[in-house]
Structure 1
Amino acid sequence: MIKVYNRKNKCYEIEDVAGEKYLNWLYSSTVGMSLLELLIKRKLFSKIYGMFCESKISKKKIYNFVKDFNIDTKNCKKSIEEFENFNDFFVRELTPEIRPIDKNKNHFISPGDGRITVYTNINLQNLVQIKGFNYSFSELINNKDLEKQYNKGTCILLRLCPTDYHRFHFIDSGICSSTNKVKGNYYSVNPIALKKINKLFCQNKREWSVFHSSNFSDILYVEVGATCVGSIIQTYKPNNKVEKGEEKGFFKFGGSTIILFLKNNVLKIDKDILKQSSLGFETKVLMGEKIGEKY
């Protein structure tokens, strides 16, 4: 059972987890963990499942998925009949009015839909994955120059569920560097897995880039893949000017995570998110909504 804070209703909700029984078995039983290490975490498994999700046969999966998780397809640019396969639906685009962008240049917005946890005054040698599990910046991104910049800064974790809108966006206007790719495994990023796999973010496939933000200095974007996420697709043009809210890329099928690093004394995170993070709860957010403001 995963409890998430709904900041709009000011209450806690129980998250509907896609494949919850399967995840519990896979990450808790001896047989499940053996299967995980032998096959599920491997690129081959995610690649094969990705091929299925790209096939016309997988279109049948859309209707049950929408029904089981009560997804409002009226917000999509395409009708449910227009999607060619499950991955086409999974990376669906939404109508702009559904995700309004807070245009105030001093407001920091969420880069995507998901569940957010924030850590401030971070120690880069002891970053929190989940309570009891830690990792270091150098294990996540082996770059000494970047490491110096973000010590005692802010770390934002945005976890995307399979049911979420899976495109991610720029939090400000600016220019983004080219993407660096790091090969890795394909563990789930669900809290069920985070409690079992040490240094999971450092083991999974990931991509990173530096965003030269107009109002929040240089921000390190890290996109982490997960089980069945065969591809992280970057749609932006490196070293070109982008506007706040513009699309950066998207994840194909599966849950995923975005990690943002900001320098010290750049960002003040909203108090409700900080409070829930300190209590060990994620806060549900939507792409484009304010989650903090400029110092």
Structure 2
Amino acid sequence: MPTSEPIRYFNRAKQVVETEQVYGEKWLRWTYENAVGQFSLWALVKRAWVSRYYGWKMSNSASMRKVLPFVIDYNLNEDEFAKKPISFKNFNEFFFRALKPGARPIAPGERVAALPADGRHLAFQDVEAADSFYAKGQTFSLEKFLGSEALAKEFAGGSLLISRLCPVDYHRFHFPVAGIAGEPRLINGALFSVSPIALRRNLGYLWENKRMVTIVESPVFGKVAVCEIGATMVGTIFQSFIPGRAVAKGEEKGFFKFGGSCVVTIFEKGRIKLDADLVSQSANGLEVYAKMGERLGEAV
């Protein structure tokens, strides 16, 4: 897939293919598609202080002036917000905003798993049989991503969901299944972009970036790995749940601060049948735009 192509995805609700309106597209393309820009990855983007500085800037009270223009420019549905746009003290507070109760209905059924976040989703029934997610010749490494040879063996041949969040999305992430949630494990790393513009160049950014891995023991789905990935301008992954206790499907797990980011969900082999529309569109190289709480698949 040529790197200069626009980013297209399948909108599940509308049943049409759309072109993504990319926040900061010119800067992303210069950084990841231009030889000079790629040099800046090592000089600036990879280093956490850049994202920390931008995070501080977005937490400054002056950043509240960006909220209303952002809502208008990206046509966000403010009726879903738990607070009015003018009530946020800074842009970061708006960015990880909560929604009104019921704004994201959770797919019913004990044996049904739900999408963990709003975003553009890639789904693969067998992670080991999948390749060319964003470009030919690139495959997902379970061992590198999970940072554990033992865990990689447990999830070998399992099912994979990559949920990519853009800056315009609701940035809280939730549990896709009910169960007992373990302690999140931090794996430190860089803060590259997780936009397809970057991942077409190097899928490895998914396991080179800072990430957190939480194992959920589900009585229905078995062991499920729910993982969050930091990215450029996303230095903070905040976990809001209490480890070691039972969690409900759709319950909030945490949130990202400013920037695009990613949630990866991995099931053990033979424990879930992912929904056909997610799998078929992914096989055709299209992410599926859908919201948190919608169906992901059903236990086998």
TM class, shorter-chain normalised? over 0.9
Q: 1:122, 1:16 → 2: CA distance?
A: 29
Alpha-carbon displacement from aligned partner over 1:168-215 (angstroms, at most 9, x marks no partner) = 101122111101111111111000010123511111111101011232
Which one of 274, 277, 282 corresponds to residue 277 of structure 1? 282
C-alpha displacement of 1:19 = 0.8
Which one of 76, 81, 84 corresponds to residue 79 of structure 1? 84
Match of 2:3 in 1: none
Match of 1:208 in 2: 213
Identity among equivalent pairs (%)? 37
User: Which range moved further: 27-36 or 223-232?
Assistant: 27-36
Match of 2:262 in 1: 257
Distance 1:129 1:160, change over 3 A: same
Which one of 52, 57, 81 corresponds to residue 57 of structure 2? 52
Distance 1:273 1:146, change over 3 A: same
Find the residue that maps to 1:45 and give its secondary structure: helix
Q: Answer whether contact 2:59 2:90 (CA < 8 A) is retained.
A: yes
Match of 1:233 in 2: 238
User: Which range moved further: 80-89 or 146-155?
Assistant: 146-155
1:152 aligns with 2:128: no
Match of 1:131 in 2: 135
Match of 1:245 in 2: 250
Give the letter for the 1:38 counterpart.
Answer: A
C-alpha displacement of 1:221 = 1.2
C-alpha displacement of 1:129 = 5.0
C-alpha displacement of 1:147 = 1.5
Find the residue that maps to 1:13 and give its secondary structure: strand
Q: 1:290, 1:119 → 2: CA distance?
A: 15
Give the letter for the 1:45 counterpart.
Answer: V
C-alpha displacement of 1:148 = 1.7
Moved over 4 A (4+): 126-129
Q: Answer whether contact 2:7 2:19 (CA < 8 A) is retained.
A: yes
C-alpha displacement of 1:67 = 1.4
- List gaps (5 residues or longer) in structure 2: 1-5
Alpha-carbon displacement from aligned partner over 1:102-155 (angstroms, at most 9, x marks no partner) = 23111111011001111122229x866523222422211222221221111101
Q: Answer whether contact 1:128 1:135 (CA < 8 A) is retained.
A: no
The number of residue pairs the alignment matches comes to 294
CA RMSD of aligned residues (A): 1.4
Match of 1:172 in 2: 177
Distance 1:269 1:135, change over 3 A: closer
Which one of 29, 38, 41 corresponds to residue 33 of structure 1? 38
Q: 1:24, 1:142 → 2: CA distance?
A: 29
Q: 2:127, 2:293 → 1: CA distance?
A: 25
Give the letter for the 1:2 counterpart.
Answer: I
Distance 1:119 1:221, change over 3 A: same
Match of 1:88 in 2: 93
TM-score by length of 1: 0.96
TM-score by length of 2: 0.94
Find the residue that maps to 1:178 and give its secondary structure: coil
Which one of 161, 169, 176 corresponds to residue 166 of structure 2? 161
C-alpha displacement of 1:225 = 0.5
Q: Answer whether contact 1:173 1:213 (CA < 8 A) is retained.
A: yes
Find the residue that maps to 1:268 and give its secondary structure: strand
Which one of 13, 17, 20 corresponds to residue 8 of structure 1? 13
Q: 2:133, 2:193 → 1: CA distance?
A: 13
| Superposition map of 1:175-194 within 5 A | 175-194=180-199
